[in-house]
Amino acid sequence: MNLQTRRMRITQIIPQMVEKIRSFRLGPIPPNTSVGFNFIPGQFVQIFTNPEESSYFAIASPPEDHNGLEFLIKRGKGASRAMFDLSVGSEVDVTGPQGKGFPIDDHKGKNLLLMGVGTGIAPLRSALRSALTRREDFGDLIFVYGVLTPQHFCYMDDLHHWSRNSVQVHLTVTFPEGTSWVGHSGFVQDVLKQIKPRPAHTVALLVGMKEMIQENTQILLEMGFAPEDILLNY
């Protein structure tokens, strides 16, 4: 694995609907230069907020964006907590890329079924935005995204934009009670059973917790998907 470390600067912080989740954009130093390393959609990096504190984060921006890297970070422990104490202009060290990612270039001509939950939208966003830069290389683009409550949806502007631009966006909420949500309620597994993708022409990209991955993998296999057409990014 050819890891590289780059010093980068926070150039933008975008709050999401849930206060403990934010989108961060990091730019290269000096500005107006390239990020400095290549990656494929779905890969992740290690961000050091100081030499002793780091966490791993999936890249949320596409490889075609050479001017910066984007991350969706949920405040927790270690560097994920420390990132929330930083501001635009703060500098961090970024080491990567790591993980096998989603090699969508190996599946040109096929439909892409992207399924994720919560902040797992980040690596899927990287893959989908990459596919949209060369839309003619792929068939249908199907995006299935589930969250706990409507307030947990991230990248809402992207979701609206994709749904208006040739992406079949399917959203579902696990706990809609007490909200104004009128869309699909339940798990992404339920949506998968409803949309019935064509296994002979589709590659599935999955991101989520272990149980979600296992259940959706089993459903896809029962639908006739070949194991090699069910992709994980790690």
- Say what the pLDDT of residue 90 is: 98
Euclidean distance between CA atoms 229 and 158, whole angstroms? 26
- 197-220 b/e with 16+ CB inside 10 Å = b? bebeebbbbbbbeeebbebbbebb
58 has a pLDDT exceeding 80: yes
Per-residue model confidence as pLDDT tens digits over 200-216: 999 999 999 999 999 99
| Sequence ranges of the chain with CATH classification 2.40.30.10 | 4-98
| Sequence ranges of the chain with CATH classification 3.40.50.80 | 104-232
CATH level 3 topology of 104-232: Rossmann fold (3.40.50)
Per-residue model confidence as pLDDT tens digits over 33-49: 888 789 999 999 999 99
Euclidean distance between CA atoms 15 and 157, whole angstroms? 12
* C-alpha separations of 69 from 11, 34, 66, 139, 189 in Å: 10, 10, 8, 27, 30
pLDDT category of residue 1 using cuts at 50, 70 and 90 = low
Amino acid at site 133: T
Average pLDDT over residues 158-172: 96
Euclidean distance between CA atoms 123 and 91, whole angstroms? 23
**From 3.30.70.100, 1.10.1040.10, 2.40.30.10, 3.40.50.2300, which CATH number describes the 4-98 domain?**
2.40.30.10
- Say what the pLDDT of residue 35 is: 83
Neighbours of 89 (CB within 10 A): 8
Per-residue model confidence as pLDDT tens digits over 79-110: 999 999 999 999 999 999 999 999 999 999 99
Residues 10 and 86 sit within 8 Å (Cβ to Cβ): yes
